[in-house]
Structure 1
Amino acid sequence: MVMEKSSYETKNMNRKKCSIQSNELQFYNDTFLKQDTISFRQYQANILKKCRNKNSLVVLPTGLGKTIIAILLIAKKLKKYQEHGKILILAPTRPLVAQHLSSCQKFLNLNHEKISLLTGRISPEKRIITFRNSRIIISTPQVIKNDVLRGRYSLKNVVLTIFDEAHRTKGNYAYTFLSKEYIKKCKDPLILALTASPGKDYDNIQELCNNLFIENIIFKTFEDPDVEKYIHEIDVFLEKVALPINILEISQIIENLFQKFLEFFTERNLLSSSQKYYSKMTFLQLAQDLSFSLQYGDLFSNEACKEELYDKLHFNDPPIIEIVREKKLNVHSIFSYCSSCISLLHAKELLETQHIYLFKSFLEKLQYKTDQDNKSARRIISSDHFHLINSLLEEKYCQNLIHPKIDRLLKIISEEITTFHNHKILVFTQYREMAAILESMINQTFPNKIRAEKFIGQSTTIHERGFSQKRQIEILNDFRNNKIDVLTATSVAEEGLDIPNVDAIIFFEPVASEIRHIQRRGRTGRHSPGRCYILIAKDSVDVPFYIVAKKKEDTMNSVLIDPYQLDLTENLQRQEICFNDKEGDEDITEYEILKNYRSRRKKEKELLANRSIEEIIENIDTFSKSKKYNHYKNQGVTFLSDLVGLTKNKLTNNVIKMKKHTSNTNKKKNYNNANKIYLNRNAQAIIQLAETYSDKNGKISFEKLKELAELEDIEGKKFYIHFNRACYLKYIKKDKNDVYFLKSYN
């Protein structure tokens, strides 16, 4: 088998295996650790020293034992606060939560009843009791956020919070809220943030550090002296394949049609004709800019706001909205052509990089959309190019066309079995359909030799039910116990899951995300020398995707190697927590909590309202002290909060009055509320689109509303179901080719 080694990968990943003699083996032993269960590794000990007293971001390649570092720090904190103090472990998915529970039970010398798992499936009153009685609480962040917001328990006695897969701490993700709440409430806070890849550049890493109040960054690579002796050799091979002439022929037809649609943008100066490469993201960002500009259109003429709004745009030289206004362009045509170009680029990607079944399936979806009167799909389906593609697909030589990457993958598996005697192989692919196809083809090619099984996530699509957590665990256990030899997995296997003893991984396609690239690659070489194969179709999107991922990883490493360029949290005040006073309702019995839970719900609503008031006031106070506030004031901007002298007491009193008024109104409308009909969020979105884009008479064309809904991923059968629902409930009304907005769902 011809293999092309990547010199970059080989340089950075090849390492000599170092056998650790049994007489050199040591263990971590401590009061709250089970004796002789965790093997000593010097780099983990070095990391532990650095993060014992500071909020730390630990960046380690997948496979170097981030979970063990968390366990060691938990043991130290349990020892410091012998009888009191809680540990909170947060992970983004239920399988990861279950994995942390297993690790704690396996390594910690602590009664298992004190280690608890909280999920949304457990009733709120039981979660209150569980949190109160546990030393270690493991959960997804949204569950804890919901409970904290409602005052069910406090984070003030949590002596350590662990954020697993910390790169998710962005925007409104629950990690962001919980870190802020934790630092505010706890006198002796300590944060441990774990990830293999914190972000692609300085801005992303800085945002993560800000959101988690990071004081200290610890970054380890395979090259570090204290790491080298514990790792195994990882050879990375770039497996490049040439596309057959029939695929290239169809690909060129798609490219020609794409170039024709591209002229719509270049002729109107919406995109530069000199640009070398256009991706799906190009047109997605263009549509996002246009939507954003329409939403805040009037503010773009305000000089004080313009600079801030421009920062939110992807295209700002000039902004898309200025070109649209200057040339009086049809906004809906722009959205429609964006959708057409995205569809064509996606079709081309499927053809060049996946099994032809996925390409044909996507064309069928476009045909279905056309039948549902989707303009962007009809533009493709009605073209001569599409008819030519269909005629080529019907020809004999295209009927059973197999992508060359599949042949190469089967050869790699064969070599792994015969040459390396390896029966633990992990194949990554982006698409569930491809995972199923590869599973079938591997089993057909190697009957009675190996068994392949697909491994997918829990979410359910129109075409396929996801795997339950129980099913995922069963498959991983079968893989661990040698009942399964090859896993064909989607992205669910990239993040955090303990998939053991994988000696070879195969990327069916490269991914443009540096996070996913690092996580995939780290699945091998954990316990023995490993091999990583990356399949690349020449002259396809595989090539730029691989280059982009490597470039992002290089940029990330350059920031982490020199963390002094980052602005980290300083002077965070800490003092030892005094546990003499009982926390909240610690003296209340479990029976009383369960008995009085219904009455507690009223209190929770009040707490949520009060928290909202505090947040509003805090935001107003913070803003009034900012440079931006002074800048706007100097520009002549007047703020309502200044005019009315808004204070916390005034806001609270107004809210209380509103509550009383609402209470009286509710008594009158009791019957209506009892029979209130649930309105799906998709129906709400359609109503909101009708309200936003209708003219002064509340009228919008049915075709226009469909196009707008399509941008919100409400299309085809889904659109008609929720559109009819909104009409039935008299929020909107259809009259021939127009739709009339009647009332807001609010």
Structure 2
Amino acid sequence: MKEINLNPRSYQRAIFQTCVKKNCLVVLPTGTGKTLIAAMVAVERFKKFPIEKVLILAPTRPLIEQHFESFKKLLPDNWADMQLFTGKTPSSRRKKIWQSAEFVFSTPQCIANDLRKGFYNLEDVCLLVIDECHRCTKNYAYSYISGEYRKSARHQRIVGLTASPGSDKEKIQEVCNNLGIEAVEVRTRRSPDVLPYLKELEFEKIEVSFPLEFIEIRALLEEIVKEKIQELRNGNFLKGPANKVLLLKLQSRLFEELRRTRDGRRMRAVSACAVALKILHAIELLETQTLSSFVAYLREIFQQASEKKSRGVQKLARDKRFSKAYTLALSCGIEHPKLGKICELVRKRFDEKKDSRVIVFAQFRETVRKIARLLNKIEGVSAEIFVGQAIKQHGDEVTGLKQKEQKELIEKFREGTVNVLVATSIAEEGLDIPEVSEVIFYEPVPSAIRKIQRAGRTARLFPGSLKILVTKNTRDQAYHYSAYRKEKRMLRNIHRLEEGFKEKDKQERLFE
């Protein structure tokens, strides 16, 4: 394709051929060129329908800006009138720009709002590209836009892009239904036509022992959780096994019932639910994060009790088991062993290769801050935290990075003035983070989508390694195997869907 300033790989050409003929779900590992496929399809559709538009959507402003810049690099100057819509673009200006624009790049919220206000319609859009299309479920703006597009566009074509559509068959089917998908193109790192283009990924699961001191603290807290769950069972609010997800659903249901009719039984059940959830969160911090984050959380509960935030939390603060757990944590004199292990791994990486780039993923900001402080004590390491925009207080410190600050930090990481990013989930999806030598999970995540997106940051153009820290006899182990099973199930379900579409296509050709 002479308009594109890049030679596509064999699998990109094959996927492109499917996308120009049918509404297609494209599942490709991070960093394997989904944007180039989208650009190729955009050029083909625009040449076929030159007075119509191409609409490219991505869920965040940094990601859609990244697509905008990528298309400008891939296509000749002034080949098409490309315009970028974000929340910063006033709606009145978007309405005017839409009339003459040929390629529109936008976050879905902007387009959905404009469509609802009747500023324009999608009648003359010949291609809709939806990045991170696994979000196209329920009430997310993607679902509304896709529905409007399929109702009004004269010459329809949809391309959905994702590294992981999710593990549940029902969710994958929902995404396909919402996008009107007619074909699926899926590749993994091990696909024969992708394998030659990717470098070796070294994987290692590293187990650490859960300290005896922590086991004693956990036992005290587990007694409180069991007591609260028994209260809920005695009141016939809960049956069968209890876990965080079920308790959250129960809490939501009880709140809904209390809006309709208030009674003491339900109020006490809500309180028991809230206390159980607080203690489960505390246990998760103790098992998977850091002792300092656990202590900070318990201190926060004592603060809530002193401010009389709720009777439940006041009663919890007076519980001798809770107080003893707090005292033991303050006096045990050790930290979570994963902190020492992560320092060991990063030190070894930079001893072997001075110009390494490393991303450490952790679930909570408190953990991210702790890890960064420790890593900066290692010679040759310059670590920075990489978190979302929300401003959060941590004692005397505040965290939160504006999008401009995120971009500046990514540029420092690219240049090497920062060589370790310690990141929360903000670095998992979409941002144009340079390829890294090593990705370390401080804890496993029980999500196939998040695991795949985290791992996709390494071993693209250069060999890389993925290391996952797992604390034995804790929920770390359950989360690790949960993500593994979900990823296997996702691939199985998506391949079945792919084969189903191919079989349907074959049957249709037989009756032509």
TM-score by length of 1: 0.64
Counterparts of 1:566 and 1:377 in 2: how far apart (Å)?
53
Contact 2:24 2:160 in 1 (8 A): yes
2:42 — aligned with what?
A: 74
SS at match of 2:105: strand
**Do the aligned partners of residues 129 and 296 (structure 1) sit closer, same or farther apart at CA in structure 2, a change above 3 Å counting?**
same
1:333 — aligned with what?
A: 268
> Mapping of 1:582-731 within 5 angstroms?
none
- Alignment partner for residue 50 of structure 1, among 2, 18, 21? 18
Contact 2:291 2:329 in 1 (8 A): no
1:385 — aligned with what?
A: 321
- Alignment partner for residue 65 of structure 1, among 29, 33, 50? 33
- Alignment partner for residue 358 of structure 2, among 422, 425, 430? 425
User: Does 1:489 pair with 2:423?
Assistant: yes
Alpha-carbon displacement from aligned partner over 1:456-502 (angstroms, at most 9, x marks no partner) = 11223355352111111111111111221100011111002222221
Contact 1:105 1:112 in 2 (8 A): no
SS at match of 1:532: strand
Counterparts of 1:567 and 1:55 in 2: how far apart (Å)?
11
Contact 2:387 2:399 in 1 (8 A): no
- Alignment partner for residue 445 of structure 1, among 362, 366, 378? 378
Contact 1:478 1:484 in 2 (8 A): yes
Alpha-carbon displacement from aligned partner over 1:643-674 (angstroms, at most 9, x marks no partner) = xxxxxxxxxxxxxxxxxxxxxxxxxxxxxxxx
Q: Rg: which structure is higher? A: 1
Counterparts of 1:210 and 1:376 in 2: how far apart (Å)?
45
Moved more, 85-94 or 264-273: 264-273
Contact 1:92 1:141 in 2 (8 A): yes
Counterparts of 1:65 and 1:375 in 2: how far apart (Å)?
55
Alpha-carbon displacement from aligned partner over 1:265-302 (angstroms, at most 9, x marks no partner) = 333444446x3xx43212102223334566789xxxxx
Contact 1:423 1:450 in 2 (8 A): no
Counterparts of 1:365 and 1:240 in 2: how far apart (Å)?
30
Contact 2:357 2:436 in 1 (8 A): yes
Contact 2:168 2:490 in 1 (8 A): yes
- Alignment partner for residue 287 of structure 1, among 243, 247, 251? 251
Counterparts of 2:260 and 2:325 in 1: how far apart (Å)?
42
Contact 2:224 2:276 in 1 (8 A): no
Q: How far 1:351 moved relative to its partner?
A: 1.2
User: Does 1:147 pair with 2:114?
Assistant: yes
Residue 381 of structure 2 aligns to which amino acid in structure 1? I
1:104 — aligned with what?
A: 71
Alpha-carbon displacement from aligned partner over 1:565-624 (angstroms, at most 9, x marks no partner) = 8689x99xxxxxxxxxxxxxxxxxxxxxxxxxxxxxxxxxxxxxxxxxxxxxxxxxxxxx
User: Does 1:411 pair with 2:378?
Assistant: no
SS at match of 1:229: helix
Question: Which gives a bigger RCO, structure 1 or 2 (Cα 8 Å, sep 6+)?
Answer: 2
TM-score by length of 2: 0.93
Q: How far 1:434 moved relative to its partner?
A: 1.6
Counterparts of 1:263 and 1:487 in 2: how far apart (Å)?
43
- Alignment partner for residue 544 of structure 1, among 448, 456, 478? 478
User: Does 1:213 pair with 2:180?
Assistant: yes
**Do the aligned partners of residues 112 and 567 (structure 1) sit closer, same or farther apart at CA in structure 2, a change above 3 Å counting?**
closer
> Gaps (5+ residues) in structure 2?
506-512
Contact 1:287 1:338 in 2 (8 A): yes
User: Does 1:33 pair with 2:4?
Assistant: yes
1:167 — aligned with what?
A: 134
User: Does 1:507 pair with 2:428?
Assistant: no
2:488 — aligned with what?
A: 554
Counterparts of 1:44 and 1:493 in 2: how far apart (Å)?
25
Contact 1:114 1:135 in 2 (8 A): yes
- Alignment partner for residue 200 of structure 1, among 153, 167, 176? 167
Counterparts of 1:46 and 1:429 in 2: how far apart (Å)?
37
Counterparts of 1:174 and 1:217 in 2: how far apart (Å)?
22
SS at match of 1:259: helix
Q: How far 1:362 moved relative to its partner?
A: 0.8
**Do the aligned partners of residues 338 and 182 (structure 1) sit closer, same or farther apart at CA in structure 2, a change above 3 Å counting?**
same
User: Does 1:238 pair with 2:211?
Assistant: no
Moved more, 432-441 or 284-293: 284-293
Q: How far 1:66 moved relative to its partner?
A: 1.2
Counterparts of 1:512 and 1:443 in 2: how far apart (Å)?
29
Contact 1:425 1:486 in 2 (8 A): yes
Alpha-carbon displacement from aligned partner over 1:27-81 (angstroms, at most 9, x marks no partner) = xx42x323xxx24311111111111121111111222221121122112123223
Counterparts of 2:264 and 2:501 in 1: how far apart (Å)?
44
Counterparts of 1:296 and 1:557 in 2: how far apart (Å)?
44
User: Does 1:458 pair with 2:389?
Assistant: yes
User: Does 1:156 pair with 2:123?
Assistant: yes
Q: How far 1:168 moved relative to its partner?
A: 0.7
- Identity across matched positions, percent: 35
**Do the aligned partners of residues 78 and 538 (structure 1) sit closer, same or farther apart at CA in structure 2, a change above 3 Å counting?**
same
Counterparts of 2:108 and 2:491 in 1: how far apart (Å)?
28
Contact 1:206 1:567 in 2 (8 A): no
SS at match of 1:444: coil
SS at match of 2:167: coil
Alpha-carbon displacement from aligned partner over 1:111-137 (angstroms, at most 9, x marks no partner) = 288211111222222112222222111
Residue 302 of structure 2 aligns to which amino acid in structure 1? Q
Q: How far 1:389 moved relative to its partner?
A: 1.8
2:465 — aligned with what?
A: 531
2:85 — aligned with what?
A: 118
Q: How far 1:421 moved relative to its partner?
A: 4.6
Contact 1:358 1:433 in 2 (8 A): yes
**Do the aligned partners of residues 466 and 566 (structure 1) sit closer, same or farther apart at CA in structure 2, a change above 3 Å counting?**
farther
2:510 — aligned with what?
A: none
Contact 1:206 1:566 in 2 (8 A): no
Residue 170 of structure 1 aligns to which amino acid in structure 2? T
